[in-house]
Structure 1
């Protein structure tokens, strides 16, 4: 199986690569469109600020490639947010895969949310073997509201989407590569999704 982690200069890609190695697989880091298109599974990471990350995608032409991919794609953290229609962070148009606007947590809660939180309302084969209210690791100031494509919810002042799914696209607001045994299970589930 060929696993490609999209390397566009806005991701904590080494920790994802190591997490995949711990599961017994190898992943390639690449920004080459042909290599990405030829992959069996694609991971779309993201760390940092949305507008500069989106600009890096545009500079490499990957902003038009990613939404057209046909194999399973997993967006992580900012990667998931960039798969949405729009994010308030940097007033940024996203890739439009998920029809939702990403918004900032209000001042009622400490921002960013950093640390462990529970996931519930799990609704996808991405969460096979994962119990309701398991803990996952998050670092974020912006969130996607709950929509029809929401497959997991966390609560931080209000319920929000911690995972989304539409067609061959999956997104997690949390970092599976930093979420211990639960995160490894979710990554493994993604790698065996048809």
Structure 2
């Protein structure tokens, strides 16, 4: 059972891989589309900006490989920016070349926009709680994760109000309410970083490893 952590050359991904190994999985960090496409499961972690990440993912062929994995029904986990890239579009970095939006992977419907607040500091960095939805109470990724538990966040952008509510497994409030966990079929996403979220975050990674084992 191989879980590939996608390397799109925007940061250190070793903490995610180590977390998956501690959770009982076999994790491989790779930037090769063929390795991604052959994986039993894929994790797309959160590093960099929406525009930069999508530019590399599109040019490298990683995007097509990720979509092939999802189409085949193999487990997929997006973390932080990796969750945002699942959606139709985002405006982080879009204005650099005159565009209003940058296209995402389009697996889930909705857009990603900046958190705006006159009172709260942005980026949103630190521990914050999960408001688990009825969908989330059935979500295997959140098995054993209690309502109101705190997870570690670090982000300036989040999924906006136009997201399909049928895929929202948990929400968090900071500047505005935003989806912090999504789930659709074999596709999961967390806006928080489970690899940095202590024991409860480790439980989320253990759940993903179990989901992968069950699918394999």
TM-score per shorter chain, which class?
A: over 0.9
Displacement, 1:64?
2.1
- 1:32 counterpart residue number: 32
In structure 1, what is the equivalent of residue 77 of structure 2? 74
Change (3 A) 1:31 1:7: same
Q: Please point out which of 141, 148, 163 is paired with 1:133.
A: 148
CA deviations on 1:58-105 (whole Å, 9 max, x unpaired) are: 121112221231210101111111111111101221111110100111
> For structure 1, which segment, 127-136 or 51-60, has the greater mean C-alpha deviation from structure 2 after superposition?
51-60
Q: What are the Cα deviations for residues 144-194 of structure 1, in whole angstroms up to 9, with x where unaligned?
A: 135221111111132210011122211111000000001100011111113
Contact 1:154/1:160, CA 8 A, preserved across alignment: yes
Q: Give me the CA root mean square deviation.
A: 1.4
TM-score, structure 1 normalization? 0.94
Is 1:120 paired with 2:131? yes
Aligned partner of residue 21 in structure 2, secondary structure = helix
Q: Which runs of 4+ in 1 moved over 6 A?
A: none
Deviation of 1:11 (Å): 4.4
Unaligned runs of 5+ in 2: 95-101
Structure 1: segments with no counterpart, 5+ residues:
none
The answer to whether the 8 A contact 1:10-1:45 is kept is no
d(CA) in 2 for partners of 1:155 and 1:2? 35
- Compute the TM-score of the two structures, normalised by the length of structure 2: 0.85
